Amino acid sequence: MADTTRSLYDTVADTYACVLPDLRAEAASDLELIYRFGRMVPAGESPVLDAGCGTGRVLPYLASLGLAPLAGIDLSPAMVAHARRHAPDARIAVAPLTALPFPDAGVRGILCWYAIIHSTHAEVAVIAEEAARVLVQGAPLLLAFQAGTGDHFVPRAYGHDVSLHAVLHEPDDIAAALTSAGFQIVATDRRDPLSVEKHGQGFVLAVRAKATEA
């Protein structure tokens, strides 16, 4: 699955960057959640991570919130190349969500903005454990994802001769996976799709529990 996903986004990266250059497609409530996440990031010198950063379209907004240093990871080298142009001051690397290139307790916050779209429920559990490993205690994690159950397929994704396989997730299921990994849930939300969206959107905001609270 990882090789297929990498190949997909290497193929569509340039088109994706044109279709979604920034956060103008997001609902106002989406941006409010990212702002809330930013306010929860503890002080420190370790990075705030955009996990599954894609072309880096969220990184400038994170920077505008005063979050620094910033880091990003993505599975696709072509997407990472765009992200480095979007955020030249951020540390951006090619890496999977299941093996983050950071030491234990080496990150002050993680934004995972629609990055689990190709992850099964079992893979989400692994991603949650990895996020818990790298986050400092009390640090926030915000996930956004397409909400629902089952899978859906998009033929000719972004106008290219490749198909996109997406997995839908219920907010309660994501919250359960995070709780099992040692997070405390701060908020869950689900909104109706915008005019250009085919599915509702889910959100879970959590914090890495402190040792006495885990």
Element (H, E) at 113: strand 109-113
Give the range among 4-8, 64-68, 132-136, 156-160 with minimum mean pLDDT.
156-160
CA distances (Å), origin 81, targets 77, 86, 129, 209 = 6, 9, 27, 34
User: Tokens standing for 130?
Assistant: 């990895």
Query: DSSP secondary structure string, 30-42?
Result: HHHHHHHHHHHPP
Q: What is the pLDDT of residue 213?
A: 47
Element (H, E) at 14: helix 2-19
Helices 121-134 and 171-180, axial angle in degrees (round to 10): 50
Q: What is the pLDDT of residue 157?
A: 65
CATH number of 2-208: 3.40.50.150
Higher pLDDT, 16 or 153: 16
Q: What is the pLDDT of residue 163?
A: 66
Give the model confidence (pLDDT) of 146-192 as tens digits.
998 877 777 766 766 676 778 999 999 999 999 999 999 999 999 98
Region 131-141: mean pLDDT is 98
